[in-house]
Amino acid sequence: MNGLKLPAGRLAAYGILGFPLAMAALPIYVHVPKFYADTLGLSLAGVGLILLFARIFDAVQDPLLGWWSDARRLKPGGRWRFVAVGAPVMALGLYGLFNPPEWDAGALGWWLVANLLIVYTAYSMVTVSYTAIGAELSDDPVERTRVTAFREGAGLAGVFLAAALPEALKQSAGDRGAFAQFSIVFVPLVLAGAAIAITWSPKPVSRPAVVRTPLSAALTIPFANRDFRWLVAVFVLNGIAASIPATLVLFYIEDVVQRPELAAAFLIAYFAAGALGLPGWVWLSRRVGKVRAWLVSMGVSIVAFVWAFLLGPGDANAFFAICVLSGLGLGADLALPPALLADVIDQDEARGVGRNEGAYFGLWALTTKLNLALAAGLALPLLAAFGYEPSGENAARPLVVLAGVYALLPCVLKALAAVTLARSPLFSASR
20-39 pLDDT tens trace: 999 998 888 778 888 998 88
Q: Quick one: pLDDT at residue 295?
A: 96
Query: Is residue 293 pLDDT above 90, yes or no?
Result: yes
What's the whole-number mean pLDDT along residues 239-250? 90
Q: Quick one: pLDDT at residue 408?
A: 95
Q: Quick one: pLDDT at residue 371?
A: 82
Query: Is residue 130 pLDDT above 80, yes or no?
Result: yes
Q: Quick one: pLDDT at residue 5?
A: 84
Query: Is residue 139 pLDDT above 50, yes or no?
Result: yes
What's the whole-number mean pLDDT along residues 110-123? 95
What's the whole-number mean pLDDT along residues 256-266? 91
Q: Quick one: pLDDT at residue 76?
A: 85
What's the whole-number mean pLDDT along residues 133-153? 90
Contacts made by residues 311-314, CB under 8 angstroms, sequence distance 24+: 311/256, 311/257, 311/403, 312/256, 312/257, 313/256, 313/257, 313/258, 314/257, 314/258, 314/259
Return all residues near 409 (Cβ < 8 A) that are at least 6 apart.
Answer: 241, 244
Rounded Cα gap, residues 330 and 334, in angstroms: 6
What's the whole-number mean pLDDT along residues 325-329? 93
* 262 vs 205, higher pLDDT: 262
Burial of 1 (0-12, 13-18, 19+ CB in 10 A): exposed
**Most confident option among 83-97, 149-163, 366-380:** 83-97
Q: What is the pTM of this model?
A: 0.78
Q: Which domains does the chain have, with CATH numbers?
A: 8-204+215-429 (1.20.1250.20)
CB 54 within 8 A of CB 193: no
What's the whole-number mean pLDDT along residues 331-340? 91
Query: Is residue 336 pLDDT above 70, yes or no?
Result: yes
Q: Output DSSP code: residue 39.
A: I
Query: Is residue 207 pLDDT above 80, yes or no?
Result: no
Q: Quick one: pLDDT at residue 1?
A: 42
Hey, CA dihedral for 124, 270, 233, 383, is it positive or negative?
negative
What's the whole-number mean pLDDT along residues 150-175? 90
Query: Is residue 218 pLDDT above 70, yes or no?
Result: no
Q: Quick one: pLDDT at residue 410?
A: 94
pLDDT averaged over the chain? 89
Return all residues near 32 (Cβ < 8 A) that are at least 6 apart.
Answer: 47, 51, 97, 112, 116
Digit-coded pLDDT (tens) for 84-99: 999 999 999 999 999 9
* 54 vs 14, higher pLDDT: 14
Return all residues near 115 (Cβ < 8 A) that are at least 6 apart.
Answer: 93, 96, 97
Query: Is residue 309 pLDDT above 60, yes or no?
Result: yes
CB 85 within 8 A of CB 128: no
Query: Is residue 208 pLDDT above 60, yes or no?
Result: no
CB 235 within 8 A of CB 18: no
